[in-house]
């Protein structure tokens, strides 16, 4: 009898609350990814300068171009909470989405952009953001989990895949034009440093809204989606366009730094709001 009472009094394990369930496991894999890649980038760069071995050139450029984008996507994937998004799907989005986005942009831009002025910069924003979100749709239209958090992560993956491939192209162009390894490494480092406030952020914002507006497993083009598309296209266009507007007031050099800092901060603020909204929806769904 006593044994039965003792067994009944044994406390049962408490069920996790929704807030505990969605609390991500902070393994900090993104930090490991970043510092490991950074060490490899520095070592390969030093060896390239010392040996002047051209075979090392693609290695330096690829590590430098992909380091920050991969770190960025890893950071958000670690915070996916209740999202059922898998690592293979995220990886496919990064690779295939980036390729599809670059190909679409390369096809569309020559057709629609004829001049190089402020207006054309806005057109570039419209075209490239359309190309990237099209890649997101092609990859995820059969995906069952169309939560806002999944959209944010997939958008970040596609955008960063696009940024990494684009940076590789810019580095190659810099080498052809300057025939300088140091100039190529510099371009790679600058574009890698700026990657988190550019393509990945813009596409993550738009994809999160696209997924949020999905119903019954199908994407819908609502006013919210259209408005968000115009917003990220404007941010994209102003990334290159704002420095040309303020250069008369702050002078060359500072115009690029100030202009891109303003746009970069604005994009990160919007992304944070979208992330907060996505997390809130997951908490409500878990309750």
Assigned domain for 15 exists: no
Q: What is the DSSP letter of 54?
A: G
| Total of domains in the chain | 1
Q: Which domain holds residue 73?
A: 25-286
Q: How far is it, in rounded angstroms, from Cα 177 to Cα 180?
A: 8
Residue 197's contacts (CB-CB under 8 Å, 6 or more residues apart) are: 260, 263, 264, 265, 267, 268
Assigned domain for 218 exists: yes
Assigned domain for 2 exists: no
Q: What is the pLDDT of residue 187?
A: 84
Q: What is the pLDDT of residue 105?
A: 85
Q: What is the pLDDT of residue 19?
A: 43
Assigned domain for 14 exists: no
Assigned domain for 4 exists: no
Assigned domain for 8 exists: no
Using DSSP's 3-state secondary structure scheme, residue 147 falls into coil
Q: How far is it, in rounded angstroms, from Cα 179 to Cα 184?
A: 8
Assigned domain for 9 exists: no
Assigned domain for 1 exists: no
Per-residue pLDDT for the chain (287 aa), expressed as one digit of tens each?
444 444 444 444 343 344 444 454 456 889 999 999 999 999 998 898 888 888 888 898 999 999 999 999 999 998 887 788 889 999 999 999 889 888 988 888 888 777 777 778 888 999 999 999 999 999 998 888 889 999 999 999 999 999 999 999 888 888 888 777 777 888 888 888 888 899 999 999 999 999 999 998 899 999 999 999 999 999 999 998 888 888 878 777 788 888 889 999 999 999 999 999 998 888 777 66
């Amino acid at each position: 009898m006593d044994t039965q009472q003792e067994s009944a009094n044994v406390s049962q394990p408490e069920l996790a609350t929704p807030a505990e369930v969605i609390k991500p496991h902070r393994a900090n894999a993104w930090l490991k990814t970043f510092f490991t890649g950074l060490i490899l980038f520095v070592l390969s760069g030093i060896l390239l300068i010392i040996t002047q071995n051209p075979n090392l050139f693609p290695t330096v450029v690829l590590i430098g171009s992909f380091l920050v984008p991969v770190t960025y996507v890893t950071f958000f994937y670690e915070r996916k909470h209740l999202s059922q998004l898998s690592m293979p799907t995220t990886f496919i989005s990064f690779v295939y989405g980036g390729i599809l986005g670059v190909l679409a942009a390369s096809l569309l831009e020559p057709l629609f952009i004829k001049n190089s002025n402020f207006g054309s910069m806005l057109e570039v924003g419209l075209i490239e953001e359309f190309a990237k979100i099209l890649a997101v749709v092609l990859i995820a239209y059969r995906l069952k989990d169309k939560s806002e958090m999944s959209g944010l992560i997939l958008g970040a993956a596609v955008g960063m895949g696009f940024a990494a491939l684009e940076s590789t192209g810019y580095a190659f162009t810099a080498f052809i034009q300057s025939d300088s390894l140091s100039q190529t490494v510099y371009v790679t480092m600058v574009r890698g440093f700026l990657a988190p406030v550019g393509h990945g952020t813009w596409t993550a914002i738009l994809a999160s809204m696209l997924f949020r507006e999905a119903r019954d497993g199908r994407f819908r083009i609502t006013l919210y989606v259209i408005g968000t598309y115009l917003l990220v296209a404007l941010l994209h266009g102003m990334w290159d366009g704002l420095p040309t507007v303020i250069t008369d007031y702050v002078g060359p050099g500072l115009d690029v730094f100030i202009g891109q800092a303003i746009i970069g901060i604005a994009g990160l603020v919007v992304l944070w709001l979208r992330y907060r909204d996505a997390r809130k929806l997951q908490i409500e769904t878990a309750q």
